[in-house]
Amino acid sequence: MEKSDFLVVGAGLAGLAFALEAARHGSVTILAKTTAEESNTRYAQGGIAAVMDPSDRPESHVQDTLVAGAGLCRREVVELCVKEGPDRLNELMALGVPFSRDTAGHLDLGREGGHSTRRVLHVKDRTGAAVVETLLPVVRAHPRIRLFENHIAVDLIHAAWLARRKDRVPPVPNEVHGAYVLDRRTGRVKVFAARVVVLCTGGAGKVYLYTSNPDIASGDGIAMAWRAGVRIANMEFIQFHPTCLYHPQAKNFLITEAMRGEGGVLRRADGGTFMERYDPRRELAPRDVVARAIDAELKRTGEECVFLDMTHHPRAFLSSRFPTVYERCASLGIDIAAQPIPVVPAAHYCCGGVDVDLFGESSIRGLYAVGETSCTGLHGANRLASNSLLEAVVFARRAAVSGAERIREMDLRTDLPAWDPGGAVDADEQVLITQTWDEIRRCMWSYVGIVRTNRRLERARHRVDLLNDEIQEYYWDTRLTADLVELRNLATVAGLVVESALRRQESRGLHWTADFPRTDERFLHDTVLERRL
């Protein structure tokens, strides 16, 4: 048994920032699913939105966020993120995050879709990678933080589950005591006991066939929380990034939003523009508008992609401002200074997740969720560009402050039962896992994508329910592997997305259905799902 005051599941910005703050108050254990360097944060190109320019106003950032969120943002959360954001960004800079600056030494603030002014701090086009590269060495060197790489959480250990094992009435409220964790190197499942558990596992982009997310984004934290009876909110709002690179040799490569912020123009294959037909903000409209516009153009023309044109910029500017995109495209034979970039929409960000309060705590006492795993109310029905890392760093601090109080109130359980594999045996073939994984992702892309209908959603629900039943049977009969853990979580999240989408009988933000094409004030509320234990 591994014991600590805080157990952090995930090593992206949310997990690292929480760990550094929580270590002031107690011992911290961090679980990294593969290597600590691999996280959703690492692939965040654009930046972090915050009011750092004297000419900008907090009220403007608040308003831009509310407009993008299509009526479902929690204003209190938006205001606190905008208010606390600059302090958190200054702390990142104090730790050494090298945000880009102009020749005068001022922050080189970018502008992205939905923002009314330049307020996006960035490290060229590799902001997330720079943040991880800065924070991770500090975490590794910290005497009160232990980092376990290649450890994937399987399920939460909580009071209600322990009570059911002994035929007792589950306590109300429920509280968390730790997690079962698979060591990928040995195949052993360990017990990690903690007073506070923090889910920072990122999103669930891999539930879709085409995504900008890395392979690790299988919704683990959301799925574990759901199985523990935690409230899950707004899973229908899946953000599709408008511009992922379209190339047979490019896997999950994002063409940053900042390119449109710097004047990038979307064109059809014939060279004609089209965004003016969909929104007066054209390429600077929020992501849901741009993604639907591209999807509509592709369906209308039958073409496989559209093109993002940056050729009006000098080569020196493109290679300096967007070195990652410039070099990646060049490696594939695309000279972005001379030719437009082929792009398509792809699943990018989950605006829903574990329903949490103003300090990131879920409906289970002592269980927190921070970052994309959570649903704080900041994003509403559509995330404003570069507000994701802002939310992660703001709520990491708030959760750590609250968690410091919780560890003084909650006992560290040292009597937790060991993992019981039952009669499970080694799998005789992996094709069942890979085939089912592919089937889920194709089903979700075809039926629960950018444009939805009730008929498609019902078809998806039927198929996902059958797959969930098959996976559950296989799960209990087979020894655990990381692939099986991820598949189980992926199928669980797919079911939550489908169910949430069916319940919202309107079009709002990222959820657009042809059966209910208008916004309906009767649905001006969160879609909250809760599993009875």
431-447 and 454-477 helices, crossing angle to 10°: 160
Q: Which of 42, 74, 282, 287 is catalytic?
A: 287
**Cα atoms in the Cβ-side hemisphere of radius 13 Å centred on 143:** 1
Token output for 239: 């953000």
Which residue in 380, 355, 255 sits closest to 307, CA to CA? 255
β-strands 145-148, 232-233 pairing: unpaired
β-strands 341-350, 28-31 pairing: unpaired
Token output for 191: 């017990």
- How far is it, in rounded angstroms, from Cα 45 to Cα 28? 29
Q: Print the SS3 string covering 267-317.
A: ECCCCCECHHHCCCCHHHCCHHHHHHHHHHHHHHHCCCCEEEECCCCCHHH
Token output for 145: 């933080």
Active-site residue, 287 included: yes
Q: 415 burial class (0-12, 13-18, 19+ CB within 10 angstroms)?
A: exposed
- How far is it, in rounded angstroms, from Cα 398 to Cα 358? 8
Token output for 415: 């009597």
- How far is it, in rounded angstroms, from Cα 153 to Cα 468? 19
DSSP 30-79: EE-SS-TT-STGGG--S-EE---STT--HHHHHHHHHHHTTT-S-HHHHH
- How far is it, in rounded angstroms, from Cα 395 to Cα 85? 10
Q: Sign of dihedral through CA atoms 260, 263, 264, 269? A: positive
In this structure, how many other beta carbons lie within 10 angstroms of the beta carbon of residue 230? 26
β-strands 232-233, 528-529 pairing: antiparallel
- The DSSP call for residue 112 is -
Show which residues are catalytic.
Answer: 287
